[in-house]
Amino acid sequence: MFFTEPEPCRAQAVEVAEGIQRIVADNPGKMTYYGTNTYIIDSSDGRFVIDPGPVEDHDHFEAIVETLGEGATGILVTHHHSDHFGAAPALRERTGLPVHVSRVFPDDAFEPDGYLDDGDVIAGLTVLHTPGHASDHLCFARPDGVLFSGDHMMGWNSSIVSPPDGNMRDYCAQLQRLIDRNDRVCLPGHGPVLHDPQPYIQRLLDNRMRREAEILAHLSKKPDTIKNIAVSVYKKSDPHIAMAAERNAAAHLEKLLAEARVTKNNEIWNLT
């Protein structure tokens, strides 16, 4: 179901589409694949960077600064998670570039230079507010069908949706929003470029609905806790992945609760 790519070069800008270069941070992991994708884009408004990545990767940071050069205009952030936003304050301090984030950006310790709403246009990109993975998540759509999808949609794996900031109901609705669009290329926050993305995004949504049905089937046999439901439905042995599965199960249950399809009594969930 998922897509792979060879391990990318580090601290090196590589063109992935016309006017778009990718630099992959050296923060590989079970949640980040080979690392965070930082994009440098050329637009009629100047050169912008999308997601500067983790603050810990000095070589990555210097590669961004070098690639931006003298014609840089701004910094765009898909969401507040540290593997995407982490280096933004330092990059602003180094370059003087303004940082643009979602209107609902939740980090009160950082004062951005600009707020973005759904439908805004910046750097020739239309802003799509796509909550689900994170409440402030943004995608950026170029008129020629290139979509920067952040962590909302990635080809290497499905995204974790962890309440309370993550919301499965929003996430599924925003997957459907991307299915209904006509983007031809997705550039995700981690992993490879994805061409003709709609069939793949449909599979992602179908997989979430399958998990939801499995959760309901489990509850039809007996009321249970989130932990037990996750073990039964996801069957993950790796502790780190099992924890992510538990968070996804919690998000599904919160969605079902909002739809009045399940109830909760202390830590026990049951069918309505």
Query: How high is the pLDDT of residue 203?
Result: 98
The mean per-residue pLDDT over the stretch 243-269 comes to 98
Q: In this predicted model, what pLDDT tens digit does every residue of 159-202 receive, in sequence order?
A: 999 999 999 999 999 999 999 999 999 999 999 999 999 999 99
Please list, in sequence order, all residues whose beta carbon lies within 8 angstroms of the beta carbon of residue 70, skipping any fewer than 6 positions away.
Answer: none
Q: Is the separation of the CB atoms in 183 and 168 below 8 Å? A: no
CA distance 91 to 141: 23
More confident position, 149 or 1: 149
Query: How high is the pLDDT of residue 70?
Result: 87
Query: How high is the pLDDT of residue 247?
Result: 98
CATH architecture of 14-196: 4-Layer Sandwich (3.60)
pLDDT over threshold 90, residue 107: no
Q: Is the separation of the CB atoms in 130 and 152 below 8 Å? A: yes
Q: Residue ranges of the domains in the chain?
A: 14-196, 211-271
pLDDT over threshold 90, residue 216: yes
Q: Side chain identity at 246, as an amino acid letter?
A: E
CA distance 35 to 52: 12
Number of other residues whose CB lies within 10 A of the CB of residue 100 = 23
Query: What residues are paired with 184 via a beta bridge?
Result: none
The mean per-residue pLDDT over the stretch 239-253 comes to 96
* Average confidence score pLDDT of the chain: 97
CATH number of the structural domain 211-271: 1.10.10
Name the 3-class secondary structure at 152: coil
Name the 3-class secondary structure at 176: helix
Query: How high is the pLDDT of residue 37?
Result: 98
Number of other residues whose CB lies within 10 A of the CB of residue 193 = 18
Nearest to 208 by CA among 168, 258, 174: 168
The mean per-residue pLDDT over the stretch 214-243 comes to 96
For residue 109, the 8-state DSSP code is T
Q: In this predicted model, what pLDDT tens digit does every residue of 5-19 receive, in sequence order?
A: 999 999 999 999 999
Query: How high is the pLDDT of residue 235?
Result: 95
Residue with tokens 């992959």: 24
Please list, in sequence order, all residues whose beta carbon lies within 8 angstroms of the beta carbon of residue 236, skipping any fewer than 6 positions away.
Answer: 230, 242, 244, 245
The mean per-residue pLDDT over the stretch 137-156 comes to 98
pLDDT over threshold 90, residue 146: yes
The mean per-residue pLDDT over the stretch 52-59 comes to 98
Q: In this predicted model, what pLDDT tens digit does every residue of 61-104 receive, in sequence order?
A: 999 999 999 889 999 999 999 999 999 999 999 999 999 999 99
Same CATH topology for 14-196 and 211-271: the answer is no
CA distance 224 to 267: 8
